[in-house]
Amino acid sequence: MSILKLNKVSYGYIDGSRKRTILDELSYTFEKGKFYSILGPSGSGKTTLLREMVMLQEIHSGEIEVLGHKLSSISQSEAMKLRREWGVLFQMGALFSSLNIKDNIALPLVEYSDLSQEMINEIVAFKISIVGLKPSDANLYPSQISGGMKKKAALARALAMDPKLLFLDEPTSGLDPISAREFDALILKLRDLLGLSIIMVSHDLQSIYDTVDMVAILDDKKVVYEGNLDTISDIENEFIQTFFSGVKKKVL
């Protein structure tokens, strides 16, 4: 079953007097229950595509279908409902600096649910524990915690509404290698625990080898490769050759 479908999605913008196309009739189907990574050179439109998938950016042409809803013709009320069914962790996964960890995680619940404060507190405490933060971290502010803890808190917030679909944009960027590997392990654990489907944009090759089932590689405005990583180095594409050269494969 597909969880998200791209059908001839194009995106461009006007730069002075020239029209620049970033995505040119991209089509791709993401299946339920898998861990996907979207790869591609910097500036190839990965974040743009992710923002279109979560309705943060208008679709210029083509269609994106998420959990059976066509985004180009979705009603306001359907869009509201759909937003509760996915979690998003952006690269600048900004926690609100004026709110402590607990209140940051509670935010979607306060905004989208009519649960009692007591219930919200319980859910937040549970999310704090599943991402591996300590109960005592709940009252700390973003400025008081490490980068790794911030990512965990942002992940807990993305999971606040129990989504089945999780979007991650460069989740390990800015983390030291140890925290990055720890974050990968956490994502894998939560995927199994919560039965998540995951779509991740990443540059972190080790992370990609350690976590994903499938990759979709964007280059020159198109998907130039889709599949698993087993035969990736045989693909004749400059970006792929450069990106995947000399990589440590997953040690099983």
Q: Which stretch binds Mg ion (CB under 5 A): 43-51, 129-137, 202-210, 222-230?
A: 43-51
Classify each residue of 102-131 as buried b or exposed e, where b means 16 or more C-beta atoms within 10 Å of its C-beta: bbbbbbbbeeeeeeeeeebeebbeebbebb
Nearer to ligand ADP, 40 or 163 (CB): 40
Q: Is 172 in the site for Mg ion (CB under 5 A)?
A: no
The crossing angle, in degrees rounded to 10, of helices 147-158 and 117-130 is 130
160 lies in the site for ligand ADP, by CB under 6 A:
no
Q: Select the residue interacting with ligand ADP from 13, 29, 92, 241 (CB under 6 A).
A: 13
CA atoms within 13 Å, Cβ hemisphere of 109: 23
- Tell me which residues in 27-56 interact with ligand ADP (CB under 6 A): 40, 42-48
Nearer to ligand ADP, 117 or 242 (CB): 242
Beta carbon nearer to Mg ion, 42 or 136: 42
The whole-angstrom separation of Cα 50 and Cα 57 is: 9
Residue 220 and residue 188: Cα distance in Å, rounded? 31
Of residues 106 and 201, the one with the C-beta less far from ligand ADP: 201
Question: How many residues interact with ligand ADP (rule CB under 6 A)?
Answer: 10
Q: Kindly give, in sequence order, each residue whose CB lies less than 8 Å from that of residue 77, ignoring residues fewer than 6 positions away.
A: none
47 binds Mg ion (CB under 5 A): yes
Q: Say which entry of Mg ion, ligand ADP, none residue 44 contacts (CB below 5 to 8 A, set by partner kind).
A: ligand ADP
Residue 104 binds which one of ligand ADP, Mg ion, none, with CB within 5 to 8 A depending on kind?
A: none
What whole-number distance in Å separates Cα of residue 127 and Cα of residue 20? Answer: 42
Provide CB contacts within 8 A for 121, sequence distance 6+: 102, 106
Q: Characterize the bridge pairing of strands 69-70 and 214-219.
A: unpaired
Residue ranges that bind ligand ADP, judged by CB under 6 A: 13, 22, 40, 42-48
Q: Which parts of this chain interact with Mg ion (CB under 5 A)?
A: 46-47
